[in-house]
Chain A
Amino acid sequence: MFGYQNNVLRIDLTAQTAKQEPLNMEWAKKYIGGKGLGIRYLYEELKPNTDPLSPENKLIFMTAPLTGTVVPNSGKLAIISRSPATGTILDCSIGGHIAIEIKYAGYDAIILEGALKEPGYLYIEDDKIEFIPANDLWGKGSHETESFLLNKHGRDCKIMTIGPAGENLLPMACINSDYYRQAGRGGIGAVMGSKKLKAVVVKGSGGVKVADMEKALTRVHEILRQDTVTEDNLWAYTDGTATLVEACEAGGVLPSKNFQDATVNKSEGFNSDRMIEARKGKRGCGSCALGCGNFTKIGDAVVEGPEFETLSLAGPNCGVHELKAIVKFNQLCDDFGLDTISAAVTVSWAMEMTEKGLKDFGIRFGDIEGYLQMPEKIARRSGIGAELALGIKELSKRYGGEEFAMQSKGLEFPGYEPRGSWAMGLAYAVADRGACHMRSYPIASEVYEGTVEPYTGEGKAKLVYDGQVYNAVKFSGIICDFWGLGLDTLAELLTIVTGETFTEADMETIGDRIIHLARAFNQREGFTGKDDTLPRRIFNETLKSGVAAGQRIPEEVFGKMLSEYYEIMGWQPDGTISPEKLEELAL
């Protein structure tokens, strides 16, 4: 098939050797690339019960057939491993330009195995692979590290780095690229840190062969005008994800003070209007037609962002309503290599524990000075940060407060309040990597579009499933979350690029297959339906403010949604996939 390089770079960090091998094209037809194909490789190659932070865990960087072509919004990279935070499958997505550079260097995927003995980084220039010592960079922030490597190897290189959080093996450590882009969740940066790998530097000089270039140019031009740069998608350009702040607040789903309530009429200081006032520039990823990135600078606080998740969770969820503080928190997390979602929710949990007198972490809601010290303390495991670095699942086992430890499967909640969007609660609970808004996004129907009643369990299992299918195949294409293209368009673009015929029905089949594969991976690691749950706060405590005031998700309704979801999936009542079903799926 065209679009692929038919080439995988497999690197043994222990032996410091590299070899090239053909991409498994049988799998490529069934999983496309990105998320799906990466999980397929890991499912095959990773021995069950492998310690995520051991040299035996693998770190897979996976591109897709659309990567590096003229197809818009196709510049993201999937990174796959077993999560140190949850023990589940973990696939993350990172923007910027690194995916395209890997493809231009001649690879569909890079698979990292083993671990370096001393800190180092990888330099990949087409066929040339070098293992370079990085003792001098160990301990430095992601920004300084990337600047140093750009100066050393040239500004046309693309780079991924980890910060101190990754080096210190935190379950909330991320991987950075282009300074402000992250593969954020599930401790993917800790996997890189466990391999003593400070950075990956890539320079590629090649291109990508497309099956029908004339048609690609014609159709992409049409699609760009008719289906991409349109009013439905341009929110990403005009406001970016900050546009969701005011919408979520009005919809009763912007959390307040560790999900104790919803935020109402308090977003003026950090909504998209305020973001636009403080905006200094715009940026998009490679191949992007929408350019969602916003450079924001207020005093000495500067960042590309903050994105909605950070505005929500490091904002009112920590009792903070001022943009400058959120920008600074975001900047520090990026540099120290922390996922802003998990870091902010861990801090908000510690604030509630302190205020309730259950355990004094020395930090309270709205204490901006203390909150801005948290990223470095957590990343370096210093002072109180040594405890907070554990993440809230472990912390709440140790100190109590489990009912308001806002996590599922050990992954901290994203910035949407599920009691105002019940399907979002189900989506968090059944997400393959733990509480995640990127597996399915039913809040769009329940809250933004208002086409589905939010406070009922009726029909929600199907809504969540449809969203999972859509995102699973879209993130295997790989197409960015922010382009709401139809699966018919995705199938057409894949057909033009690869030369193989794909239909909309094929997209649905592939999406469904990927959800099952991820579930099979987790099942092999011991996960069952008992893990598909939410913290007690969501079942027992009602919201007091906003349009969803009075709402909670009754546990029996949640149970019914879950049962219906399993039924749709063809799974057993306990949430497991039967051996017969696994065989039928021929994963």
Chain B
Amino acid sequence: MKVQVKLSGPLRRRFDGVATKMIELPEGAAVRDLLKQIGFPEVGYMIAVNGMRVYPAEPLKDGDKVVIFPPTTGG
């Protein structure tokens, strides 16, 4: 399956400045598998799938839109 991954804020640099990438994952993969594949730890980053915050155990499905947010300290 393929999921669309968007990196927010300074994390974009990890995709060489590209806003989003399609990432191929094996069927049955969860968010933690995606994080591992693209080099993120499981803790410390907020993950949203289709506009809703999820945790690393969340299963993914083909066509999901994933956003990874950087840690922030205030607003």
Contacts and interface: CB of A to CB of B under 8 A. Distances in A.
B71 A238 contact: no
Given A246-B8, A252-B53, A448 B69 contact: yes
Listed residue (B9, B52, B70) with the most chain A CB atoms within 10 angstroms of its CB: B9
Contacts of A415: 75
Contact of B51 (A232, A237, A264): A264
A241 B75 contact: yes
A310 to B, nearest CB: 11
A243 B43 contact: no
Counting chain B CB atoms within 10 Å of each CB, the highest count among A241, A308, A415, A449 belongs to: A449
Contacts of A481: 73-74
A243 B51 contact: no
B30 interface: no
A250 B67 contact: yes
Interface stretch (A97-105, A437-445, A497-505): A437-445
B67 to A, nearest CB: 7
A34 to B, nearest CB: 16
A284 interface: no
A239 B10 CA distance: 8
Contact of B9 (A243, A249, A484): A243
B75 to A, nearest CB: 4
Nearest to B46: A448
A239 B52 CA distance: 20
Contact of B75 (A231, A308, A484): A308
- The majority secondary structure among interface residues of chain A is loop
B12 interface: yes
Contacts of B75: 241, 244, 307-309, 414-416, 437, 441
A291 B70 CA distance: 17
A151 interface: no
B10 A237 contact: yes
Contacts of B45: 449
B30 to A, nearest CB: 15
Contacts of B72: 235, 241, 243-244, 247, 444, 448
Interface in A217-233: 231-233
A235 B10 contact: yes
Given A249-B51, A250-B46, 4 more contacts: A231-B13, A243-B70, A273-B19, A437-B74
Report, nearest first, the 3 A-B pairs whose CB atoms are least far apart: A250-B48, A235-B9, A481-B74
30 contacts: A231-B11, A233-B73, A235-B8, A235-B72, A237-B10, A238-B12, A239-B8, A241-B74, A243-B8, A243-B69, A243-B72, A244-B72, A246-B48, A247-B8, A247-B72, A265-B51, A307-B75, A308-B75, A309-B75, A438-B74, A441-B74, A441-B75, A444-B72, A444-B73, A447-B46, A448-B69, A449-B71, A450-B53, A484-B71, A547-B52
